[in-house]
């Protein structure tokens, strides 16, 4: 049972390209959604939260479709520094125990090529 | 900018030994977490901690694992008798009660190698 599923990748794109990542999640009670990036052997770093109305942060745009349980991330004008693994992350429904455990996808590796 | 810190960055231990991994969460955060990532695999939730007690734990977090907040700043993960399959990156994370979307911030991790 795959709780958060992402494009397998890897994606190799030239600098300046637009690249899109997709993700689906299985828990319909999920409340919060995020994209994290992870560099090789480093910690996950929060890239952006994903809001129901869609949101943008500079070159990054995230979309959420709750009905389809689908999340996307669009990166415009790719930079070499965007090379990383992009993790789709879903926060489970509040359990009442004060916890919001995160469920991670396996990630999609992006390589931006000069 | 406040950060989660973790020590040590790398721990090598022999099978059957006890290890303690240490974390200092961001100072005004109230919820603390441990995750692990086996090489090449996804990040997995281990345990969450709030108000000096475990809130939730995964099936990975068996009797060999324990967590503690011994003082006002440190948060520790103890593995009592390490197994080869415990080799992984262990990440500590924390979040603020007042962040409506509960973004979690991760420390740099401790790489645990069990030989």
CA A106, A63, A91, B109: dihedral to nearest 10 degrees?
Answer: 50
Nearest-CB residue to A98 (from B44, B51, B91): B51
Encode pLDDT of B10-65 as tens digits.
Answer: 999 999 999 999 999 998 888 899 999 999 999 999 999 988 999 889 999 999 99
Encode pLDDT of B66-110 as tens digits.
Answer: 999 988 789 999 999 999 999 999 999 998 866 555 789 999 999
Residue of A nearest to B33 (CA): A101
With CA atoms as reference, report the closest residue to B114 among B75, B90, B87, B76: B87
Yes or no, beta carbons of B103 and A97 under 8 Å apart: no
Beta strands A108-113 and A11-14: pairing type?
parallel
What pLDDT, on the 0 to 100 scale, is given for residue B2?
A: 81
Interface test with B, best of A39, A100, A103, A106 (most B CBs within 10 A): A100
Q: Which residues does chain B have within 8 Å of residue A91's beta carbon, measured at their own beta carbons?
A: 101-102
Strand partners, A50: A33
Encode pLDDT of A7-62 as tens digits.
Answer: 878 999 999 999 999 999 998 888 889 999 999 999 999 999 998 888 999 999 99
Please give the C-alpha separations between residue A11 and each of A75, B27, B42, in angstroms, as whole numbers: 12, 38, 18
Yes or no, beta carbons of B108 and A43 under 8 Å apart: yes
Percentage of chain A with pLDDT > 90? 75
Interface test with B, best of A62, A88, A99 (most B CBs within 10 A): A99
Shortest alpha-carbon distance between residue A87 and chain B (Å): 9
Whether B106 and B90 have beta carbons less than 8 Å apart is answered as no
Whether B13 and B115 have beta carbons less than 8 Å apart is answered as yes
A2 at interface of B, judged by CB pairs closer than 8 A: no
């Amino acid at each position: 049972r795959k709780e958060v599923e992402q494009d397998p990748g890897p994606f190799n794109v030239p600098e300046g390209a637009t690249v899109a990542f997709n993700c689906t999640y299985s828990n319909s009670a999920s409340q919060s959604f995020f994209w994290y990036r992870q560099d090789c052997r480093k910690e996950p770093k929060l890239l952006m939260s994903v809001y129901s109305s869609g949101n943008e942060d500079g070159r990054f745009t995230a979309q959420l479709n709750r009905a389809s349980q689908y999340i996307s991330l669009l990166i415009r004008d790719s930079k070499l520094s965007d090379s990383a693994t992009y993790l789709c992350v879903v926060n489970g429904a509040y359990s009442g125990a004060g916890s919001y455990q995160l469920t991670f996808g396996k990630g999609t590796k992006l390589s931006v090529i000069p | 900018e406040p950060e989660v810190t973790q020590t040590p960055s790398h721990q090598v231990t022999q099978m059957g030994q006890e290890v303690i991994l240490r974390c200092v969460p961001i100072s005004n955060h109230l919820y603390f977490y441990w995750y692990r990532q086996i090489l090449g695999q996804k990040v997995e939730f281990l345990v969450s901690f709030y108000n000096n007690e475990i809130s939730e734990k995964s099936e990975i977090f068996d009797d060999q694992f324990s967590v503690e907040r011994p003082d006002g700043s440190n948060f520790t993960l103890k593995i009592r008798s390490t197994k080869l399959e415990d080799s992984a990156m262990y990440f500590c994370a924390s979040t603020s009660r007042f962040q409506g979307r509960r973004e979690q911030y991760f420390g740099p991790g401790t790489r645990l190698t069990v030989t």
